[in-house]
Chains A and B, each alone.
Chain A
C-alpha cells in the first residue's frame, strides 16, 4: 500500500498547549498537504507545502517537510477546543491522486 502513516494515532491535550502530528510517506512527491476533518464531515484543506520547501506557516499552523526522510510534521500552537478534529496528511506521489495518511485524532480539552 502507498498509504502514508501518521503518528500519534490519537492525541489529547489541554487548551493552550501545542499539538504536533507527524506524517511519513513512501513515494517521491510534488507536494504534501494537510487536511482537517471534523467528525462525520468532509475534509477541509489546511495547508500545502511543496517538495522544495522546508517550512511553512499559516496562522497557528506550522508545517515542516523533510524529503530526505519522507516525513512532515504539523504543529498547532496555542490549541483551542475548536481544534478538536482528525488531521490527515496527503501526498500526490507525482500523480494527480491524493494518498492520505492514517490520520491523527486530536482532542483538545477546555
Chain B
C-alpha cells in the first residue's frame, strides 16, 4: 500500500522555539494532506487541510499563525509550530489521500510526539 512518512517521530523543544514536522508521501503524489492533533487518550482532531500550491484551510479554533502549513510539492507538506508553548505538547499526525473512483483512501504518517518544556 501507499506509504506516508512523517518526521521526526519525537521532538523536545524549549518554550518559545519553533518546530517543523515533515510529512512525505513516498510512492504517490498527494495534492491534499491533512494534519491532525491528538491529546492523550483522546481522538484525532483535524487541524487543517494542506493543499499543494495554495494556502491551507484551517479548522475553526486553530490558529493559522501558530501552526504554519506549507505544501510546496506534491509529496511534501510541513507543519511548523511557531513559538511553541507547553500547551502545544501533543501528538501530531498527518495523512495523505488517494482518490479512487468512489472512495477516498487515507494513509497516515507514524505521528510526531511534541514535548515543549
Interface residues of A (CB under 8 A from B): 3, 30-31, 33, 35, 40-45, 48, 50, 88, 90, 92, 96-103, 105
Query: Which residues B23-67 have CB closer than 8 A to chain A?
Result: 32, 34, 36, 41-46, 49
Closest to A101 in B: B43
**A98: which of B34, B41, B91 is its contact (CB, 8 Å)?**
B34
Contact with A along B75-104 (1 / 0, CB 8 A): 000000000000000010101010100111
What are the residues of chain A within 8 A of B95 when measuring CB–CB? 43, 98
**Interface pair A98/B106, CB less than 8 Å apart:** yes
Tell me the minimal C-beta distance from B81 to chain A in angstroms: 18
Taking the nearest CB of chain B, how far is it from the CB of A60, in angstroms? 20
Measured as residues with beta carbon below 8 angstroms from the partner, the interface class of chain B is 20 to 34
Minimum Cβ distance to chain A for residue B96 (Å): 11
A43 engages B103 (CB within 8 Å): no
Q: What are 21 A-B residue pairs whose CB atoms fall within 8 Å in the complex? A: A3-B45, A30-B102, A30-B103, A31-B103, A40-B111, A41-B110, A42-B6, A42-B109, A42-B110, A43-B44, A43-B93, A88-B44, A97-B46, A97-B49, A98-B34, A98-B106, A100-B36, A100-B44, A100-B46, A102-B42, A103-B42
Q: In the complex the two chains form, is A88's CB within 8 Å of B93's CB?
A: no
Contact, CB under 8 Å: A105 / B41: yes
Q: In the complex, how many angstroms separate the beta carbon of B90 from the nearest chain A beta carbon?
A: 12
With A50-B102, A96-B97, A105-B41 as known contacts, state yes or no: A42 contacts B46, CB within 8 Å.
no
Cβ of A48 to closest chain B Cβ, rounded Å: 7
- The answer to whether B110 touches A50 (Cβ under 8 A) is no
Chain A residue nearest to B6 in the complex (CB): A42
Residue from A48, A98, A105 having most chain B Cβ neighbours under 10 A: A98
